[in-house]
Amino acid sequence: MKRHRIPQRGLGRTRSVRRRGQRGGDLLGIKRAATATAEVAICLPVLMTLTLATIDLCSVFFLKETVSIAAYEGARRGVNRGGTNAAAIARVREVLTERGVQFGGDAVSFEDATYDDAETLEHVTLVVTVPAAGNLAAPAGLYGDLQLTARVTMRKEFENQE
């Protein structure tokens, strides 16, 4: 094994130093690299799963909030002066479309009374239902037939105009 002499300052003596990569090698460095590789192989899938699950959970929260906002906006449009079922449904569809939510033709429904036939100060409940499949980052099969629903009940403020 080849050793290099490095002079020590002020003492007039030299000391031997072995260089890396020479015969006798740095076995401890190889063991450390193998340990690090094994740690990454174990931890990386767990971290990726947690990251993707977090992203998907945030997508669910965003979709639920979007459905709630669409229901509220539709109900506000329906209870105002001149509000109709068609105006409320159009506003719900507008909000869902603006936010990139896929929905079917029956996304909006009413419980009991509707805006067209409700009397002044009568409660009207607007229901918005959107499928989770196709609106989330995860594969559609993961959620099956999950439907996100929001209900908003407001009083009709003005009389229907003819």
Q: What's the angle, vertex CA 101, arms to CA 96 and CA 103, rounded to 5?
A: 85
Structure confidence at residue 77 (pLDDT):
94
Question: How far from 151 is each of 17, 71, 103, 111, CA to CA, in Å?
Answer: 77, 7, 16, 9
Structure confidence at residue 2 (pLDDT):
57
More confident residue, 159 or 56: 56
Answer yes or no: is pLDDT of 97 > 90.
yes
Structure confidence at residue 120 (pLDDT):
87
30-39, 73-82, 138-147: range with lowest mean pLDDT: 138-147
Question: Could you tell me what percent of the chain has a pLDDT over 70?
Answer: 80
